[in-house]
Amino acid sequence: VIETRKINADNDEQIKQDITISPDGTPTRILGAHVGNNVDNSHKWPKVLEDIESKLRQWEKCHPTIEGRRLIIQMVIGGMTQFKTVVQGMPKPIEKILKRRIRDFFWSSSAPPPIRIETVQSRITEGGKALLDLEARNEAIELMKLKALVTYDEKRPLWADATNTIILKKLPKSEQIKADHVAGQDFFLQSIYRRTRYSRREIPEDIRRILNITIKYNVKIEALQIPEQHRRSLHAWFQDRKSVV
């Protein structure tokens, strides 16, 4: 594309010279997100970690109470990572670092905490402090992406169709025949996506996260009774019949 400045080699129309075409691996910033082909999404997180650490050091000078520390964690670590996690996802190594930092800042010590972190993260009505559960927050973000992906009304985002196509095109060869039958159909209503885990590198990492979170929480179509007209509108091939019959 860079050499010919054409999206399609058979097309005579070229991309204008004043439009920059970024090579593979070079991110382009759009609305705070860094996007591009074969872009390493983890390269911007070290700067976020530095900013978070600077903010926490400033707040530490105020000698906040336990409740104050909880609110600061929510505001600084939660607030400064939420948007980037939504648009690009949070790599597991970064999540691990931040979970450790949450624990250390909350107890103002790097020593083993006197109370299990799960207890502190539980609801106040259950005896906890409702401390930010970063892993649960990140998983909730992926589940909301799934919700958008399986929405078929006027609010369905444009990226959902592209994501569904990528998933079908990147299925293992053993399932490509099945994919031909459901091409352009709803992948998540088909039994062919039921796997223990998606790890194929051909599927982009952000899509793998969505697929794996659906498997972890066994997300599927389920209803006490599906009306006959809706049941008839479901796809005939590779239907997950336990969920819809």
pLDDT in tens, 35-71: 777 676 777 889 999 999 999 999 999 999 999 999 9
Higher pLDDT, 78 or 36: 78
How many angstroms separate the CA atoms of 101 and 60, rounded? 13
SS3 label, residue 136: helix
SS3 content of the chain, % helix, strand, coil (to 5): 55, 5, 40
Residue type, 208: R
> Can you give the C-alpha Rg of the chain in angstroms?
23
pLDDT above 70 for 90: yes
Give residue 117's region: left, alpha or beta (phi > 0; psi -120 to 50). Answer: alpha
Kindly list the distances between the CA atom of residue 145 and the CA atoms of 53, 149, 163, 197, 206, in Å, as whole numbers in the listed order: 29, 6, 11, 18, 10
Tens-place pLDDT, residues 121-152: 999 999 999 999 999 999 999 999 988 888 87
Say if residue 76 is exposed, middle or buried (CB neighbours under 10 Å; 0-12, 13-18, 19+): buried
Measured between its terminal Cα atoms, the distance across the chain in Å is 49
pTM: 0.76
Which of 7-11, 111-115, 158-162, 218-222 is the least confident region? Answer: 7-11
Residue recorded with tokens 């992948």: 187
Assess contact for 20 and 36: CB atoms under 8 A: no
